[in-house]
Amino acid sequence: MNKPIIITTLCAFLMLISLSHLSICLAAPQLSVTILLDKQTYNLNEVVTISGKVTDPLGNAVVDASVSILISDYAGKSLHISRVYTRIDGIYQDQFTIPSTANVGTCTVQVTASKVGYDNGQHQATCTLIPEFQDTMLLLTICLGIALLTLKKPKRGHSFS
């Protein structure tokens, strides 16, 4: 075999390996995003506060990352769509009021963080929507129970009047 052909083939093979290794090294780092809801159960017409943090693979805060928020009820109806940006500490925050027309039940919160130079990070969480009157009915039931427990039997010879 001819030496120049062997050397050329070997060089081409080594370049191919180097390029494939370079493309692996140049892959964009993946963003991580968290979701924190101020509570897990909400009434219709109640304000919801959503926050979280966007970090790089080393756990460093990512500044000015775009955070897309989509909240939908169990039937898939969109309740809130928003885009916010992270602060210098990587924290994002958003608020919205649950519409009275939302379907009660499990609600899905989907968050996607993106920034040039990174692969998108995604996270999903759930919460529960309950009818507005459910908390009121519970409170009324408790109050009625307390009222009934505090009633005393009248003493003999006395009556309520």
The enclosing H or E element of 132 equals helix 132-150
pLDDT of residue 98: 94
Residue 122 lies in a domain: yes
Residue 159 lies in a domain: no
Give me the domain span that covers residue 118.
32-138
How far apart CA 86 and CA 114 sit, in angstroms, is 10
Residue 119 lies in a domain: yes
Residue 11 lies in a domain: no
- Residues 6 or more apart whose CB falls under 8 angstroms from that of 131 comprise 43, 44, 104
Residue 16 lies in a domain: no
pTM, to two decimals: 0.68
How far apart CA 38 and CA 131 sit, in angstroms, is 18
What is the Cα 13 distance to its own chain's centre?
47
Residue 6 lies in a domain: no
Residue 83 lies in a domain: yes
Q: Output the domain CATH number for residue 127.
A: 2.60.40.1930
pLDDT of residue 148: 64
pLDDT of residue 22: 46
What average pLDDT values come out for the chain (161 residues) when binned by 10 residues?
Answer: 58 53 68 97 95 97 98 94 98 96 94 97 96 64 65 60 53
Sheet containing 78-85: order of strands:
41-43, 121-130, 105-114, 66-72, 78-85
Domain count, the chain: 1
pLDDT of residue 151: 67
SS3 assignment, position 81: strand
Residue 143 lies in a domain: no
How far apart CA 86 and CA 62 sit, in angstroms, is 7
DSSP string, 85-98: E--TTSEEEEEEEP
pLDDT of residue 27: 84
pLDDT of residue 146: 67
pLDDT of residue 137: 59
Q: Which of 95, 93, 125 is nearest to 107 (CA)?
A: 125
Tokens of 36: 């924190």
Beta strands in 15-142 (DSSP E): 32-33, 36-37, 41-43, 47-55, 66-72, 78-85, 91-97, 105-114, 121-130
